[in-house]
Chain A
Amino acid sequence: MTSNKEPGDFLPLTPRFFHLLLALAEGPSHGYEMMKQVRHLSTGKVKIGPGTLYESIQRLSSHGLIKKRKARPGNDSRRIDYEITDLGAKVLEAEAVRLAELVTHATAIGVLRTT
């Protein structure tokens, strides 16, 4: 099912979905790798178990933000890789911009001291 929604419609993303999309932004990946990546990116703050991982994958795919990648020849055929879609990339970018704007604002009002 593809959604004809604008990237902005998905904002703000939950940390879980943001980290998953971020993990896939570095390139196609499979389940366990994504779990590890999310843990690494969030320094262990966002902890995803196998069940939640695939529940999230199901949701992200159903909204067309990620998709299955064709199996690479010679690779383990049981392993399924996922990659980010164009819509997913746009949503990720929009969320990053939104967060960046918040950071800029936080800096401007002195919440965040950069020096």
Chain B
Amino acid sequence: MEQLFRRWIRLFYTRRFLAEYEEQVLRAMAEDVGASSKPWLVFLFALKDAAVSGTRTRLTRSKHPSERNPKNKMKINFFPDRTIIRRLVSQPGHSLLVVAVLALGIGSTAAVFSVFDTVILKDPPVRDASNLVRVHETKGDLAGVAAPSFLAWSRNATSLEGIAAFSSAAYNLASDNNEPLRVQGSNITTNLFSVAGIEPVAGRYFRPSDFSSGEPVTLVSMGLAERLFSGPEQAIGKTMRLDGRDHTIVGVYPNELEILRLGQLATPLDLTGDRASNLAMNIGVIGRVAASSNPESVTQELETIGLDIAQAFPGRGDWSIRVTRLHDAIRQPFNGALTLLLVAVASLLLMTCTNVAGLVLAKGMARTGELSIRIALGASRGRLINMLLLESIMLGLVGGLAGMVAARPILSAILRFVPANLPRIDEIGIHGRVIAFTVGISIAAGAISGLIPALQLSGRSLSRAMSGVGKGTGAARPGNNLPGGILVLAQSTILTIILVAGGLLGKTILDLRSNETGFAIENRVTVDLNFTASKYATDRDVENFTEELERRLDLLPGVKASGTTTSLPLEGGLWNYYYVEGNPNPDGAETTGGFQAITPGYFRAMGIPLVTGRFFDSAERDGTRNVVLVSQSFANQLLSGVNPVGRRMRFSENRPWKEIIGVVGDTPNESLADRSWPQVYLPSMAIGLPWVTRWRRLVVWTDNETDVAVRQIREATWNMDPEMPLSRMRPLSTLVDTSLAKENFLAILVGAFGLAAALLGTVGIFGMVNHAVRSRRREIGIRIAIGEAPAAVFRHTVLDGLKPVIAGLGLGLMLSWWGATGLSVFLHGTDPVQPLVYGAALGLLLIAAAVAASGPALMASRINPVTALRTD
């Protein structure tokens, strides 16, 4: 019985307690049992009692005898006691360094999260956002909605509670004093805002009667109302002169629907008459799914309705329906990029944590004395871990606070690089959710940073700890540096991955930039010309103006050529179906490609080369002779390389044949990676679409500086028409920059995080080697004393420091290799396996590590054995 009891109490009590009381407890038990008439009962009670009190002593420190409630004793003290704060304050250098490093990591993460949260996570600011859908008709890569489809859906669809349409529009806004303004706006159906569930800020939205009255009305955005009329209420009832007609402002809409890119003002969308049968896919549609339905049945219903449309408009081809939740439609284009960014910044934060762990560990080794005194005085391991973790969580929270302050400038730096088409930019900020997130990651970062040091430092045995007291040296054996090595390994792995990712993204940009653009970028200025119908009633009027303007511009000093087009490369212009006469593939209806209307000077102004045949001459400006130019890809794809000059093509069966008179070089359609989209060029008056030809891009090739060229273009234009608004005046090179905005954004940010991570990694490696050298001073001293050359010491120390780096590099390269396929969507055809990028990451990291290690290694090689041994 006694042996059983001995084993039993050894299970529960600490060794320290047993050392003092084991025999006495046994004795008391034996006497109690011996004196009792029911020994078994007493024994069982003693067993239970020992288990309970033994567990209690383990869980609590030696508490006050007045402590009444045993439950209190289980609580972890989350509020730091004064000793912790005192210690953090007493080492200002260390604490500041840790806080600064944490602030960098936490601040960057918070800033990226604020973008991610607004664009990806937060519901759009509309009523019941989950029921609101975007509807598209799609075929291949093409997506849009044609007016007949929308009209049929709104008449027949029952699965949608409401359906509304909008299309983008631009207006010339006459103002009294300033230059004429070009304002981006939209045409909307009367119910657009009510379908979205958004109330007007002031006034009202459109009524059906607004169409019939013939009185032009408009809505303006909150922003425009404030800029032009000093407030929404003041704007109601005022008139604005848009495209030469006075419009009465009936309402002001809030910024919430900016997710649909409605622009500054909205006029009613008229889908009557010709527009009702217009097959151009140029309207956007939103719908509210009925309570009894879901997006899948909406898709089915709209497709059924679509069958009737296909019958009514044969030759339109088969279009399928895509119904997407509005939120998904908004965030989808940026989901991947922002997730990648969040992963990158999270890796940076993880780097930060491992770095801080290294710092805390190194500092903690110097605290061996203090910790061993605590152990000697009876602090349990759990209690030490608790204390050390609390310290680092405190540091994490302080770092988080500093990070919150740092997040604002970091966020504004990020916002400087975000692509202009990133949705909901205005909503991005350090708001409640971001703050809550930041507090969360601060605690997590503190805990992660503190865990390894806490486990390591608290696990030191009493005797070893005691032997180290007062010497300030902890790790006498190399093996003791293992946690530091693991931290460096982890850092090197993460760092390799970030560097490889950044390198691949950078390489992609270089690849895209070095792609032949197909047009000249240098010394070109472009501007949009916007012709109002009231002033320029016919295509002839527009053409006369541009012809005269080009003539005047070409005479100016420095100007080499000028021309206009209906869409520039990289803007993703208009498209249509092509039929080529005698095409070996009669199924030509399925062939699509872009088209644009140009003036004869355009190719010269753009530097687009003529491959074969000839350009338009000025006699062909008016479009009466049916001639076209085609791009190289057109010739390759539709005529399989046969010389197209002299062949004929047309856009649809009932349109006239047009003779191909020449072939020009390819230009990219939407992105620099995409240059094989066939293009057809028409003389500007041949297009027959006034809403297209009234919006011209003028391109001027000039030797003058941009500002001189801008002044020349303004003077020349306004001399002819002082009301002509000139919008988007810019060097042609910005087209390329804009088209690479998303790629640039990713590469710059991942690159910046990579650099920050590299800096942190270098500091981390330095810290680890430095710590190793300090703690092995004595050993190194002895080695030097018995004759090891300082150079050898240097070499060994650097190599020892590099070992975990090399292991991390290998692991990181393997993981990058494995993960790079996930990046391929961002790489636009650049092969994810780039030996150069991997090699560069490897080289950079090795050099950084070697530099970081050589400082402490130099110190090691200069250790004077006499002093080293004496001070030890």
Contacts and interface: CB of A to CB of B under 8 A. Distances in A.
Q: Do A and B share a complex?
A: yes
Interface in A51-82: 51-55, 57-60, 62-63, 65, 78-80
A92 to B, nearest CB: 11
A32 B27 CA distance: 8
Nearest to A31: B28
A52 B28 contact: no
Given A31-B27, A35-B28, A78-B27, A52 B66 contact: no
A11 B68 CA distance: 10
A50 to B, nearest CB: 4
Interface in B1-45: 9, 12-13, 17, 20-21, 23-29, 31-32, 35, 45
Contacts of B66: 9-14, 17
A96 to B, nearest CB: 15
Contact of A58 (B31, B52, B62): B62
A27 interface: no
A110 interface: no
A51 B32 contact: no
A79 B24 CA distance: 7
Interface in B271-293: none
B28 A10 contact: no
A33 B64 CA distance: 24
Contact of A59 (B13, B24, B65): B65
A50 B29 contact: yes
B37 to A, nearest CB: 14
B75 interface: no
B53 A65 contact: no
A107 to B, nearest CB: 25
B471 interface: no
A53 B29 CA distance: 10
The residue among A48, A50, A80 with the most chain B CB atoms within 10 A of its own CB is A50
A12 B67 CA distance: 9
B155 interface: no
Given A13-B65, A59-B63, A78-B23, A52 B49 contact: yes
A51 B9 contact: yes
B62 A79 contact: no
A25 B226 CA distance: 87
A62 B62 contact: yes
Contacts of B45: 47, 49
Contacts of B67: 14
Contacts of B52: 51-52
A8 to B, nearest CB: 10
A52 B53 contact: yes
A2 B872 CA distance: 34
Interface in B155-175: none
B809 interface: no
Contacts of B28: 31-32, 35, 50, 53-54
Interface residues of B, number: 35
Contacts of A54: 17, 21, 24-25, 28
A30 B21 CA distance: 12
A17 B66 CA distance: 8
B50 interface: yes
Contacts of A55: 17, 53-54, 56-57
A51 B49 contact: yes
A19 to B, nearest CB: 12
B24 A63 contact: no
B50 A17 contact: no
Interface residues of A, number: 32
Nearest to A5: B64
Given A32-B31, A78-B23, A50 B68 contact: no
Interface in B65-97: 65-68
A31 B26 CA distance: 10
B141 to A, nearest CB: 77
Contacts of B784: none
Contacts of A53: 25, 28
B49 A32 contact: no
The residue among A48, A49, A58, A62 with the most chain B CB atoms within 10 A of its own CB is A49
B837 interface: no
A58 B20 contact: yes
A48 B575 CA distance: 92
A31 B624 CA distance: 119
Contacts of B56: 55
B46 interface: yes
B39 to A, nearest CB: 14
The residue among B13, B49, B67, B377 with the most chain A CB atoms within 10 A of its own CB is B49
B756 to A, nearest CB: 48
A50 B62 contact: no
Nearest to A12: B66
Interface in B685-739: none
B325 to A, nearest CB: 62
Given A35-B28, A49-B49, A51-B46, A63 B64 contact: yes
Contacts of A10: 64-66
Contacts of A32: 27-28, 31-32
B106 to A, nearest CB: 41
Interface string B374-398: 0001000000000000000000000
A79 B27 contact: yes
Contacts of A58: 17, 20-21, 57, 62
Contacts of B377: 1
A66 to B, nearest CB: 10
A35 B32 CA distance: 8
Nearest to B31: A32
B63 A49 contact: no
Nearest to A3: B64
A5 B410 CA distance: 53
Contacts of B54: 51, 55
Contacts of B783: none
A36 B35 CA distance: 10
B48 interface: yes
A7 B26 CA distance: 32
B65 A65 contact: yes
Contacts of B21: 54, 57-58
Nearest to B54: A51
A23 B28 CA distance: 16
The residue among A47, A55, A60, A62 with the most chain B CB atoms within 10 A of its own CB is A55
Given A14-B66, A58-B17, A59-B62, A31 B24 contact: yes
Contacts of A63: 62, 64-65
Contacts of A12: 66, 68
Given A49-B48, A50-B50, A80 B24 contact: yes
A8 B868 CA distance: 54
Contacts of B12: 51
B166 to A, nearest CB: 75
Nearest to A47: B45
Interface in B422-439: none
A45 B763 CA distance: 64
Interface string A77-97: 011100000000000000000
A59 B24 CA distance: 15
The residue among B27, B48, B64, B65 with the most chain A CB atoms within 10 A of its own CB is B65
A49 B41 CA distance: 12
Interface of B: 9, 12-13, 17, 20-21, 23-29, 31-32, 35, 45-46, 48-54, 56-57, 62-68, 377
- 3 tightest Cβ-Cβ pairs between the two chains A and B: A49-B49, A51-B50, A31-B28
Interface of A: 1, 9-14, 17, 30-32, 35-36, 47-55, 57-60, 62-63, 65, 78-80
Given A32-B32, A50-B25, 18 more contacts: A9-B66, A11-B66, A14-B66, A14-B67, A35-B32, A47-B45, A49-B29, A49-B45, A49-B46, A50-B32, A50-B50, A51-B12, A51-B50, A52-B49, A55-B54, A57-B21, A59-B63, A63-B64
16 contacts: A14-B66, A14-B67, A17-B66, A30-B24, A48-B49, A49-B45, A49-B46, A49-B48, A50-B29, A51-B52, A51-B54, A52-B49, A57-B21, A60-B65, A78-B23, A78-B27
